[in-house]
Structure 1
Amino acid sequence: MIIGVPQEVKNNEYRVGLTPGNVNSLCQRGHCVLVQRGAGAQIGLSDDAYQVAGATLINSAAEIFQKAEMIVKVKEPQPQECAMLREDQTLFTYLHLAPDPAQTLALMKSGATCIAYETVTAANGLLPLLAPMSEVAGRMSIQAAATHLEKSNGGLGVLMAGVPGVSPAKVVILGGGVVGRNALQLAVGMGADVCIFDRDIDRLRQIDLTYGNRVRTFYADGLLIEQEVCEADVVIGAVLLPGAAAPKLVTREMIKKMKKGAVIVDVAIDQGGCFETSQPTTHADPTFVVDGVLHYCVANMPGAVARTSTFALTNATYPFVEALADHGVLQALSINRHLCNGLSVHKGELTSLPVAQAQGLKYSLAEDLLAA
């Protein structure tokens, strides 16, 4: 198979879809890998390293899209990339379609087979290709919050850990999944006063067993959320409904009641965000203020630590890339139901039920399309 790795074009996105090690493994299996020049240069993965690994270096993304049978990326395709996709091509990347009707329609129009990292499943019911970036984003959310709590960065001027005689920052985490638990780990480690909300009692019980009285655990009740959010210095939005738009757990009215200079970090912004006032931002311009509350809503947070993120991501994605290349896309999807759960668009048809529900579009069963 001819596999193409273009350079990412999203704002301040330096991750890359395959490492030189991945390329070497694919080439040893008889596949051809095309890598755009400079694709990994910003994170220390040189063109020479890719060439030694067996890649063919290509000057432009347009040539990559023209020649490759499968495109392996990191972030959702931008409009100019959607326009280059074709019917006999496969796209394997994060898509986050639910809050993005324009991208959904562009991918359907292309006729390409589009597989989303974030909805590929595992036998244990988890999301193995979303987890590594969720770990990174969860940990980064506390770093970002601590930085933006500083007065010079627009915050209230609160030290996350406090000092003897002065209270630490109060941190509220909405969601106890991978993002939430990683945010919790860092917040507790920094000495913050932390509470976490979730609707999974077993998950809350496990958090309680791990952290004891260092963390307050709450069932996600609307009134309790409002009470804690309004008293918080930091609120982390870490809610995930796989493939679907994130629920709006914090309303505009609740934002109005928060402390002026408090910080919210909406890690769920890729799926539309879980704060009613959220809108996507970039690393170049990461924050905005609503009713005195600082909003950090960067849609590709792990891109800021792109080298760590690239290796963490490709450790998880590579086995699936190998399967798609070795077996062929349609056969790989047919024999692996977990990979098939990642199929979002095929031959102009939408195969993701959560996306169809979010956008009011027609939905087709992936198995039926593959059988046809």
Structure 2
Amino acid sequence: MGAPVTLAKGAAAVWGDELLTAGSTPGSVTGFNLTTKTASTAFTADAACVPRKLQAVGRWLYWSCGPGGGAGVYDRTAKKSVPVPSGEARLGDGYVVTHNKAAGELTLTTITGSDAVSRVIGELPDTGVSQRDVRWTVDESGTNAAYVDDQEQVHLVPSGVPAQPLRLLAPAANAASVQATKPTVTPGTLTSVLLSKPSEQWTLTVRNAAGKAVDTERGGAARGALSVGWHGNDRALPGTVFFPNGRYDWSLAITPADGQGSALTVTGTVDLIGGALGHAPKATAAPRITGTAKVGARLTAATGTWSPAATSYGYQWKADGTAAGRPHRAEWLVDHWQQRFSTGSGVSW
């Protein structure tokens, strides 16, 4: 867990990894990123008061001036507020439900258009205590409201607003490396994501340095948090055969459960460790030594050409198998005592 965040007394809301708090002037709201521990945003929500209550769902921010005061929903994309009925409220994705206790009614207000549109969706007499999230609520991840009537029957009420696309509520937590593991062992986590609504399935595609897809894994439904691992095992081959150690690119496609919107794609790069050592490079042009082996002569070692290409070379001169000359240099000036020995050099990776 990270360090705790201390707030002054006042209205606040959290959506994903963003903390939103009411400022000291009417309608002012400031954001704080809980992942990076930095200020994220600041805006004015068109409220005539310092908000006493805040709720956040995606681009929407509900604010209320308290009993007897106004209320509205601020669209952080369009950068404007629309007024909504006052009262005990719960914000959904593009709509808000309010309990009018005096009238004993639940009102659903859509806020996706230029104006808010309200309609009564059910009767719910006041009991003197809050019934929000007990006998009525909204689906923050979907487009429905629900309530229980006096006959104990549950009513599911579509809001009528378009479903928002599947999105991340916080940056994906991607691993820099994963350990190759057998298929029978739970793999190390490749990435962890926090989803805005339920997903139906996911597909992981892994590509090697040449861009070739070398592995594909699939998984089922998830709600909220989703963690995906990678074994680094070549399932196209019998037994347990790991892919070569090295860097791989991956993409994760996550399909929304409600079928609304396209798949969410998360990408990253990971180093596989504990896998196969890979193939030793082959010389397409052999290393060679040029020069005459005599006192005062300068010998030069050429690295040759290798496949795959090396990123760097090392040198070691030897006289009759014994290290000689200045190490790690491509040239060697032959001393008097070395003229009677046979010479050679080696190239290492």
Q: Same fold (TM over 0.5)?
A: no
TM-score under structure 1 normalisation? Answer: 0.22
Structure number with the bigger relative contact order (C-alpha 8 A, sep ≥ 6) is 1
TM-score under structure 2 normalisation? Answer: 0.23
More helix per residue: 1 or 2? 1
